[in-house]
Amino acid sequence: MAKANAARAGSRASSGAKRAPTRAKSGGRSAAKGEVRHDPEFVQLLTPEGERIEHPEYSVDFTDEEYRGLYRDLVIVRRLDAEATALQRQGELGIWASLLGQEAAQIGSGRALATQDMVFPTYREHGVLWCRGIDPIMPLGLFRGVDFGGWDSRAAKMQMYTVVIGAQTLHATGYAMGIAKDGKVGGDDGEAVIAYFGDGATSEGDVNESFVWASVFNTPIVFFCQNNQYAISEPVERQARAPIYRRANGYGFPGLRVDGNDVLASYAVTRRALDAARHGEGPSLIEAYTYRMGAHTTSDDPTRYRIASEVEAWQQKDPILRMRRFLEQQKIVDSAYFEGLESEADELAVDLRARVLALPDPAPASMFDNVYPHGSAALAEQREQFAAYHAGFEASTVEASTVEGGDH
């Protein structure tokens, strides 16, 4: 595991992908006192108090190092997310969509992915991006407006952030249909697809159309809904009269609800669903029941539509706090570990800030560079017109400066 002073942030970001737990089964550090709790509609392996509990169908078998690694993931992605929020408040980003409160759902599901699986995210999956080993500066360039967040999606096995609500589920379903037709499912080395979206997106036609196609064509896809309770500003009760995961029944594939603030449960259910998809068992829907602790984006004011006592109640279910309690109760770490991790996270955040501020502004005409691989006559004409138009502003600026300076 990388130390705080091991390398620059780019290599550190890659190191986040080196350790990926590989087991989701019975064993390991099991429930306290052999206790078994089973709610068929809610999978939980770790209580808010940090108590490990058993589930008859889902469990994990991690080493102490893997438990520490999961906690490290949670802490670092929250710290980087906080730095991005601060950058936006200081005018360095145009907007930012925070993951605060949703770290466990993202890290748990992100670490459950196999190397060959493909991810289709929204604009908030910063934790999944970290798990895929993508430099965390990549989405910040997008939100700073200096690029399109263009990482190599084929190499990273993670597509670009999608701002159009629900659109990525169509792309994901089509991709999953493709890999099925290519014969890349049906065994342990098969491929699977995961599509992330929020509770608000379930009201979009794109999502429901994706469910239809995924079911009919038995595609190897996991639909992962992070139900953070409020979409943009409306409570989930205005999106669905019944739990979201139950919608899967109407489309003919399985669905379940998991404690989205429990990183262990999020890992276990996602691992199982992805394994089923890779073996040709078709689609499934996971509803990660979590809570958006901050604003929808930095342009939002959540105090206008929810009360403080509700936020305080969810703070007691904080995904990082419960994992820390578990580590302490199991004596997996000591105080020095927490101190060292905090320092590492701070150093990563400081480095990320410096690199964001150093991002160069693109030349205006560069927006034409990658429209077509070999250009086109029409595009060349548009570029010339734009260059002339832009040059007119530059000439006006020079002329205005000359007039203001005058001859003395």
Extended beta strands in 18-153, E state: 118-120
What number of other Cβ atoms are within 10 A of residue 183's Cβ?
Answer: 8
Alpha-carbon distance of 289 to 271, in angstroms, equals: 17
State the catalytic residue, choosing from 305, 372, 389, 390.
305
Q: What is the dihedral of CA 80, 104, 53, 308, to 10 degrees?
A: 90
- Beta-ladder partners of 258: 43, 288
Helices (H), 90-201: 103-112, 126-131, 137-144, 153-156, 167-181
Structure tokens given for 28: 């390991």
Element (H, E) at 227: strand 221-227
Alpha-carbon distance of 315 to 332, in angstroms, equals: 24
How far is CA 95 from each of CA 85, 106, 138, rounded to the nearest angstrom?
Answer: 8, 21, 14
Does 337 participate in catalysis according to the annotation? no
Collect all residues with Cβ–Cβ distance below 8 Å to 3 and sequence separation of at least 6: 340, 344
Extended beta strands in 251-400, E state: 255-259, 284-289
Report which of 56, 108, 47 is spatially closest to residue 77, judged by C-alpha positions. Answer: 108
Q: Residue 380: exposed, middle, or buried by beta-carbon count in 10 A (0-12, 13-18, 19+)?
A: exposed
Report which of 156, 71, 112 is spatially closest to residue 341, judged by C-alpha positions. Answer: 71
Collect all residues with Cβ–Cβ distance below 8 Å to 306 and sequence separation of at least 6: 230, 235
State the catalytic residue, choosing from 79, 144, 296, 322.
296
Extended beta strands in 228-362, E state: 255-259, 284-289
319-329 vs 103-112: helix crossing angle, rounded to 10: 70
Does 292 participate in catalysis according to the annotation? yes
Does 296 participate in catalysis according to the annotation? yes
Q: What would you report as the CA-atom Rg of the chain, rounded to the nearest whole angstrom?
A: 23
Report which of 293, 328, 297, 295 is spatially closest to residue 313, judged by C-alpha positions. Answer: 293
Residue type present at position 272: R
Alpha-carbon distance of 124 to 130, in angstroms, equals: 12
State the catalytic residue, choosing from 55, 68, 72, 292.
292
Active site residues: 292, 296, 305
